[in-house]
Chains A and B, each alone.
Chain A
Amino acid sequence: DAMVIQNPRYQVTQFGKPVTLSCSQTLNHNVMYWYQQKSSQAPKLLFHYYDKDFNNEADTPDNFQSRRPNTSFCFLDIRSPGLGDAAMYLCATSRDRMYFGPGTRLTVL
């Protein structure tokens, strides 16, 4: 059974065109995370929520925003995607350990 679901799995957008990635969880975990993973690199934490308490990493660009309307859902908004934002975006929740979603692979044309 899927526990952390990400939609879509593949997203293509144009340079500068806003895009939203979504994540949902069936685990009822308080903490949710968004990671960015570029090719051949480790995942990099962008931000996380503890319940509705939002925590931004110091080096996360302003171009990236997030919303968490309820426990189950979390969104990643990229306001003006650049070519350098092409990456895999991973959503995760945690309790005893991290539970990762399958990721959304973003292509910027």
Chain B
Amino acid sequence: AQKVTQAQTEISVVEKEDVTLDCVYETRDTTYYLFWYKQPPSGELVFLIRRNSFDEQNEISGRYSWNFQKSTSSFNFTITASQVVDSAVYFCALETSGSRLTFGEGTQLTVNP
């Protein structure tokens, strides 16, 4: 069975602070994909990143960066110099071969001006 845990239910920061959202996953499959989605108040799920299990290279995209560590089954997401527009619910998700996407419970990020 697959499981994704996002231990942080809510995080509140002040604009320009860096913030890291944690994600820990469980699977027995050796081939799997990890995702992060952003869900602003409008409700649409916005795709941020897809990472396969064989690619442990960290990725940076603008103010966003992701740290994938198979040894600890973690796929953490960092926003540098946060902005008010980053306020949203962020979901980490796991997909294995032949199974559906399993979401974590989400982390509500609030960035205050």
Contact = CB atoms under 8 A, between A and B. Distances in A.
Interface of A: 33, 37, 40-43, 45, 48, 88, 90, 92, 96-103, 105
Given A90-B45, A102-B44, A43 B50 contact: no
B105 A43 contact: no
B43 A102 contact: yes
Contact of A103 (B33, B44, B103): B44
Interface of B: 33, 35, 37, 42-45, 47, 50, 91, 100-101, 103-106, 108
A59 B43 CA distance: 24
Contacts of B100: 33, 45, 48
Given A42-B103, A43-B91, 10 more contacts: A40-B106, A41-B105, A41-B106, A43-B45, A45-B101, A90-B45, A97-B50, A98-B47, A101-B44, A102-B44
